Amino acid sequence: MRWSLLLIVGAGLLRSTPLANAQSAPERVAPPQSMPIPAVVQSNEERLRFNGEFTVAIPKYTDARLQRAITRALGRLETLSGLPFKTAAAPQSGADSKGGPALIVEVQAAGDTVQSVQENESYTLDVSAQQSVLKAATVVGALRGLATLLQLAETDAQGLFLRGGHIEDHPRFPWRGLLIDVCRHFEPVEVIKRNLDAMSVVKLNVFHWHLSEDQGFRVESKKFPKLHELGSDGDFYTQQQVREIVEYARDRGIRVVPEFDMPGHATAWFVAYPQYASGPGPYQIERSFGIFNPAFDPTREEVYKFLDRFIGEMAPLFPDAYWHVGGDESNGKQWDANPRIAEFKKRHGLKDNAALQAYFNQRLLKILQKHGKKMIGWDEILHPDLPKDVVVQSWRGQQSLVAAAKQGYRGVLSAGYYLDHMKSAAEHYWVDPLPPGNALDQAPVAGVLGGEACLWGEFVTPETIDSRLWPRAAAVAERLWSQPEIRDVDDMYRRLDTVSLQLESAGAMHLSGPDRILRQLAGSEQIGPVREIMRLSEPLDFGQRARLHQTQMTPMSGLLDAATPDSAAARRVSAMVAMLFKEPAKRDAMVESLRGEFRKWREFPSQVSGMVSQRPRLRDVEGIAAQLGELGALGEETLGYAAKGERVQKSWTDEKLALLQEVAKPRGTLKVAVIPAMRALVSGVSGGLNQERSVSGH
């Protein structure tokens, strides 16, 4: 679906609501740092102060999972406060001890033995000057409440505190997932764990683990050992590691849904067992990326016996009720080329390859049901003959999701949440599984379970995965948890800057990882100018990078990999430009701030020229530095008109906008991120500023 998507984005399939047309969200009292925003928030002026006597009580239900969660939370609070809490290692049962503020955690019951899509994740949190009380029906609800409590911790001159108030919270959707593709580039256990920790910060609750592909098969099989021995290049998870990750996720209230892709995207299966393919082979692991021909042969009984034994081996490793079969982008070329398959289709009245794939899925479904699993797959699995408990994951868009829901199927939206496409957090934030006017009546609405952000692994390595996930995935998490009227993009970004630091505190490496790559490229710790240029730049998007024809063997440790999407520095410049035109009282200050910014840009070319001459892999920085130098000169010229209030000619405006269009073109593997801000500046002095001056009298 990541490759077909390149062909259909232009058709508007993933079109999101334009920000300019958005209506303001209704006024609500919201925690200043919480993301996702809770359903109900009431604040007061009280403060709960942390000190060395801070204690924890668990007066009702407790178990090892809850106690480990409280211990982790207290450890984070210790780090924030610098205080050693006496009960950090051993939360108490019974009443809280006297002598200091307390956290009381009241849980009614454990919840599902195997966390399910129906799990109750609601909680309440009450904070006064004396204590905080967290109440939840289940341990998972308590985990969500602890995540909120950690986000609400603030610091002032007196130290760490919680604001007083009352929170009632529950998720809007029960399925809030993150797909990580570990096949095209393998991600070690420690990488998965730290991103599970990050998921728990923003209340994502499904880890969709993409484990087989044309480029790799990533799980140890004892019944079919050639799968991992021949199909993985030695990079796979042992069964013990799978159990470890599943348990690690469960500790954080996260379900693990495995995906073994079939009938297509299956080359790595056939490297080991070519007899189950629709063509004769031989096969080898694919090193390039795209849609390939190999597919399982749906006409042979041996295929179903093989899959029965394989799923029977894997099912106990993954206790979740759902098993993802993939099902996407099977192009049918091997089926069309095989006379025996053509004869089978004719004999069974299967009019096309879609019908043949439906036949395969029906057989596969019986195997999954035998082993206690429910089927989930991409859009292509949708067929009237499948039972209604099959879940359809949509990469094609909301219309596909609506079509499935109207037929009685449950669905999960991923279209618009592809993090590897390098879109902004705002673009993902505006995509809603149930947008206004969604054309569903009340019954099908209940079938839309939620959504999943997707990080496909073509251009993602252990060194870059965090910066491709975070903090943008937090915006998707809020869309799937918070109420639909929460749509203030500026406020989302304000809180996203804070949650980004909280994600780093939880172990994510999205902030430190890019600098590490830059230090390696520069061969020095002195990367100041390069870092500043990179912060004003963005990487090529997925389609642009795909045209570079990089493969699984291409080292992904260049400037393109150090660049991060959705530049915060560019947003800051845009905010200053907006303030220049919209807030007359701050105009002079904004002119000076922007002038200082543009002077910095003009100095970039001379600052990096010496570094680039000694480090050829930094060459793309030189091109971006030159572009920023041009933009700095344009910015200073434009500010001259702004400061004087002079009216500019249309010819000047046209010339400068044409210049911006040219500068916007990528230089090498990077793009300048400040083009929208510069367009707004040029357009502002061309009309908006002069009109405002004439009205205001300045």
The catalytic site residues sit at 329
Q: Cα separation of 582 and 592, whole Å?
A: 16
**Closest to 536 measured CA to CA, from 486, 574, 504, 498:** 574
- 84 burial type by CB count under 10 A (0-12 exposed, 13-18 middle, 19+ buried): exposed
In the block, residue with structure tokens 């508007």: 12
In the block, residue with structure tokens 């868009």: 397
Q: Cα separation of 637 and 625, whole Å?
A: 18
DSSP-derived pairing of the beta strands 448-455 and 410-413 = parallel
- 158 burial type by CB count under 10 A (0-12 exposed, 13-18 middle, 19+ buried): exposed
**What are the φ and ψ backbone dihedral angles of 68, each rounded to 5 degrees?**
-65, -40
**Closest to 205 measured CA to CA, from 480, 502, 470:** 480
**Closest to 671 measured CA to CA, from 487, 524, 534, 551:** 534
Residue 410 pairs in a beta bridge with 391
Name every residue whose Cβ is closer than 8 Å to that of residue 234 and which is 6 or more positions away in sequence. Answer: none
Cα dist from 475 to 146, 193, 361, 419, 448, whole Å: 19, 21, 34, 11, 19
Cα-based torsion angle of the residue sequence 654, 656, 662, 666 in order, rounded to the nearest 10 degrees? -140
Given a contact cutoff of 8 angstroms between Cβ atoms, the answer to whether 23 and 58 are in contact is: no
